[in-house]
Amino acid sequence: MEQFSGSDSLDALISICPPKEKKDEQINTHGYSEEFRAMLDRINGEDLSYETSQVLEKRRRLSLYQVKELERSFEVENRLEPDRKVNLAEELGLQPRQVAIWFQNRRTRLKTKQLQRDFSLLKDSYDALKLDCNNLEQEKEALTSTLRELKEKLYRQSSEGNHSVEEESLISEFDNNVSDRRQTGDLFENGEKAVRVYSDSKDGSSDCVSNSLADRFRDSESREVPGKAYQPQPTRMEEQSTYCNFFSVDQAPTLHWYFPEQ
């Protein structure tokens, strides 16, 4: 509980002995019991005619002028030094305790508003991130679907034992697909930061997925493995269940399903 002294003592006493709890006692013309009034007399030891008439009034809202002045003072400094409190109280015809309470409540309102603003900013940020995440999920699904189709075609063609010309066709189909999506902003719309794929070329340079894949195809053409026909393993690709696993910068794709001998 706050401790009170001097002119605050009467307010404090009122709070300790609220009039409503004296309903069953003899009530005087001010609405308070004789016992309660006598107690006030004993404590203050002086004429209470003015002070009690102020205190015993019903709660009133502060006037427009009082609120404006308090607001003005609050803007300068939202903490009250004792001297400033007394001066403000005298200036506005209030009890120093009323000024202190007003500042306390005002700080509470300020804090509440600030929290609401912070919450709003965080919510906006969350919504934007969620949207980005959804877009990336859609990109992932589209790319996975494209990849699956290409794998199926490749598997069919390799089963027929003739893949040199068709491979080139598939590479350009894949490249066109990626290129179209890039041009329409459907792919890499976040500046490629989230979907870059590093090639495992010897010089360590990075490249986008289309070029890397094309290089791999071209490498595979020049590669000669005597007595060993190329055997893709399409089912292993499904193990790359998440977008991040497949396209993140932290883990370059191994493409081991293309090159099982790797």
Partner DNA sequence: TTGTGTTTTATTGCCTCC
Partner DNA sequence: GGAGGCAATAAAACACAA
List contacts with DNA (CB under 7 A): 1-3, 5, 11, 14-16, 18, 20, 58-62, 67, 79-80, 82, 97-98, 100-105, 107-109, 111
Helical pair 209-222 and 164-183, crossing angle rounded to 10 deg: 170
DSSP string, 105-145: HHHHHHHHHHHHHHHHHHHHHHHHHHHHHHHHHHHHHHHHH
Please state the closest distance from residue 49 (CB atom) to DNA, in A: 20
Burial of 175 (0-12, 13-18, 19+ CB in 10 A): middle
Choice between 20 and 202, CB closer to DNA: 20
Please state the closest distance from residue 211 (CB atom) to DNA, in A: 57
Choice between 33 and 98, CB closer to DNA: 98
CA angle, 129 as apex, 141 and 193 as ends, to 5°? Answer: 65
| End-to-end alpha carbon distance in the chain | 76
201 Cβ partners below 8 Å, 6+ apart?
Answer: 207, 212, 215
Choice between 67 and 136, CB closer to DNA: 67
> On the CB side of 163, how many CA atoms lie within 13 Å of its CA?
23
Give residue for tokens 């870059």: 196
In sign, the C-alpha dihedral spanning 149, 154, 157, 159 is negative
Choice between 97 and 163, CB closer to DNA: 97
Please state the closest distance from residue 110 (CB atom) to DNA, in A: 9
Choice between 106 and 196, CB closer to DNA: 106
Choice between 69 and 215, CB closer to DNA: 69
Please state the closest distance from residue 176 (CB atom) to DNA, in A: 57
Please state the closest distance from residue 123 (CB atom) to DNA, in A: 19
Choice between 3 and 49, CB closer to DNA: 3
Please state the closest distance from residue 111 (CB atom) to DNA, in A: 6
Please state the closest distance from residue 50 (CB atom) to DNA, in A: 16
d(CA 55, CA 131): 58
